Amino acid sequence: MKPIGVFDSGVGGLSVLAALRAELPHERFVYFADTAYAPYGERGDAYVIERSRKVTEQLIAEHGIKALVVACNTATTAAIHLLRAEHPALPIVGLEPALKPAVATSRTGRISVMATRGTLASAKYAALRDSFAGSADVRAVPCDGLVKAIEGFDEEAISLLCARYMAQAGPFGDTAGQVDTVVLGCTHYPLVKNELQRHAPPALRFIDTGAPVAQQTRRVLASLNRLADGEGGLRLQSSGDHALLEAAAARWLARSPSPQGTTASAA
């Protein structure tokens, strides 16, 4: 009954947490939003590695987590290999832009990947993209400022930025030369999927990693005989304003504010 740790630079990982809770309803989760040090996606690798290490160490020390989900594409690309090397007994599940299912489902062979600059500039993403060379035309769309707008509940900025980046991701359609699939390569972006869809034809496919990550987490825990069978639960923690995290959870997880959540510095 030890909890599963989940962390992101902010509230974006709530999209992954929602999928995890649906897939694993009997598990207890500790979600850590590193909002005092966000956004990761517009920082260098050294910065992201340092923060990922500190948050991971705190989740282990305070909660004795039995597994860790790195619910952040940028932290996965920059730090997950180091986290696994430093904590070999801890199962760690990470994220990567969902290019494989996108290529498998695209009919036009043209795909746009919306992500942070940190993810798109990483060697891990380049290797993933290059593995599909010849199978699809993959266009990168760096979405500067969108994470910050989502974190700040800035509806005007969200609307403007979604319109701008969807225009860059197109043209959309089901004929040759048109994009028919968009990969949401940042965990924040599924939270504003409805706004993104306003600028797309109904047939456009959006693909994110929440459900596949939840399914992989279940497989890993089952293989280690670590699946829980009791009552599930959730604890929220943040290195920044805890009230903002509670508000985000209430909005995107249909969760009422809870006194269980505590602010933690991970300093």
Q: What is the pLDDT of residues 92-125, one digit of tens each?
A: 999 988 899 999 999 999 999 999 888 898 888 9
Q: Tell me which residue range forms the domain holding 70.
A: 4-95+211-263
CA 17 distance to own-chain centroid: 9
At 267, the pLDDT band (50, 70, 90 cuts) reads low
- Across the range 69-76, mean pLDDT stands at 93
Alpha-carbon torsion 260, 261, 262, 265, what sign?
A: positive
At 257, the pLDDT band (50, 70, 90 cuts) reads very low
**What is the reported pLDDT for 144?**
94
If asked whether residues 87 and 36 sit together in one domain, one would say: yes
If asked whether residues 119 and 79 sit together in one domain, one would say: no
Any bridge partners for residue 88, and if so which? none
- Across the range 198-203, mean pLDDT stands at 95
- Amino acid of residue 93: V
The structural domain count of the chain equals 2
pLDDT at residue 188 is higher than 60:
yes
Q: Mean pLDDT, the chain, as a whole number?
A: 91
If asked whether residues 58 and 110 sit together in one domain, one would say: no
At 151, the pLDDT band (50, 70, 90 cuts) reads confident
Candidates 159, 136, 139, 135; CA nearest to 149 is: 159
**What is the reported pLDDT for 21?**
95
If asked whether residues 123 and 198 sit together in one domain, one would say: yes
Q: Read off the CATH number of the domain in which 239 is found.
A: 3.40.50.1860
If asked whether residues 65 and 148 sit together in one domain, one would say: no
Q: State the pTM of this model.
A: 0.85
If asked whether residues 134 and 186 sit together in one domain, one would say: yes
**What is the reported pLDDT for 258?**
47
**Catalytic residue ranges:** 72, 186
pLDDT at residue 216 is higher than 90:
yes
- Across the range 180-200, mean pLDDT stands at 95
If asked whether residues 220 and 90 sit together in one domain, one would say: yes
pLDDT at residue 260 is higher than 50:
no
Q: What is the pLDDT of residues 41-70, one digit of tens each?
A: 777 889 999 999 999 999 999 999 999 999
If asked whether residues 11 and 66 sit together in one domain, one would say: yes
User: For residues 71-80, b (16+ Cβ closer than 10 Å) or e, as one string?
Assistant: bbbbbbbbbb
Taking the C-alpha atoms of residue 113 and residue 123, their distance in angstroms, rounded to an integer, is 15
**What is the reported pLDDT for 264?**
53
If asked whether residues 171 and 90 sit together in one domain, one would say: no
Residue 120 CB contacts under 8 Å (≥ 6 apart), including other chains:
113, 140, 142, 185
**What is the reported pLDDT for 105?**
92
